[in-house]
């Protein structure tokens, strides 16, 4: 699957922007996998997607004091005023998944894309991961990132990114 081409086509980005977005998304995935499953599993992602490093270099820098996913959640809470209440309300008590969603929303914002574009990004990223990774590794990734699926692998009922942004 051509992730860069799909992101360009679906989101109206040029090739460099699509590479940056892909790199940023994969960095979020790899960081969450490393945090929750360990460095060995995260390294498997890097081996299966060698262009990830190049793509990550094309991503715009994160906000200072980003603090990973939790920093992105804090930025969303403090930086988007009324919009944060709706997002956080939709998340309910799912703080961990909320942090991941906030990180994706923050990343999209760096490319001047609104949060509704997350409904397009998640399935493209999932298809790309399925095309590159061993099915067992895909299962591990989805176990810690249920937001990539429509229903959520953990049964949390949030409906993934599509449920959060598409059902309003």
Delimit the domains of the chain by residue range: 3-166
The rounded radius of gyration (Å) of the Cα atoms in the chain is 15
- Per-residue pLDDT band at 47 (split at 50, 70, 90): very high
Q: Residues 110-162: pLDDT tens digits? A: 888 888 887 889 899 999 999 999 999 999 999 998 888 854 433 333 345 44
Better-scored residue on pLDDT, 165 or 102? 102
Better-scored residue on pLDDT, 116 or 70? 116
pLDDT exceeds cutoff 90 at 8 = yes
pLDDT exceeds cutoff 70 at 73 = no
pTM: 0.71
| CB neighbourhood size of 48 (10 A) | 14
How many whole angstroms separate alpha carbon 10 and alpha carbon 121? 9
87 near 58, Cβ under 8 Å? no
Interior angle at CA 88, CA 84 and CA 90, nearest 5? 120
How many whole angstroms separate alpha carbon 3 and alpha carbon 12? 13
User: Which pLDDT score, from 0 to 100, does residue 150 have?
Assistant: 57
- In the 8-state DSSP scheme, what is residue 165? H
């Amino acid at each position: 699957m051509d992730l860069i081409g799909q992101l360009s086509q679906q989101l109206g980005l040029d090739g460099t922007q699509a590479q940056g977005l892909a790199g940023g998304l994969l960095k979020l995935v790899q960081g969450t996998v490393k945090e929750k499953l360990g460095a060995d599993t995260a390294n498997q992602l890097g081996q299966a997607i060698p262009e990830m490093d190049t793509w990550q270099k094309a991503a715009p820098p994160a906000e200072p004091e980003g603090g990973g996913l939790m920093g992105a959640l804090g930025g969303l809470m403090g930086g988007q005023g009324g919009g944060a209440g709706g997002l956080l309300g939709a998340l309910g008590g799912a703080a961990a998944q909320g942090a991941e969603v906030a990180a994706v929303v923050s990343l999209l914002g760096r490319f001047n894309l609104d949060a509704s574009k997350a409904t397009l990004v998640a399935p493209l990223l999932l298809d790309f991961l399925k095309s590159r990774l061993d099915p067992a590794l895909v299962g591990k990734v989805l176990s810690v990132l249920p937001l990539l699926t429509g229903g959520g692998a953990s049964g949390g009922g949030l409906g993934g990114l599509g449920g959060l942004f598409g059902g309003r």
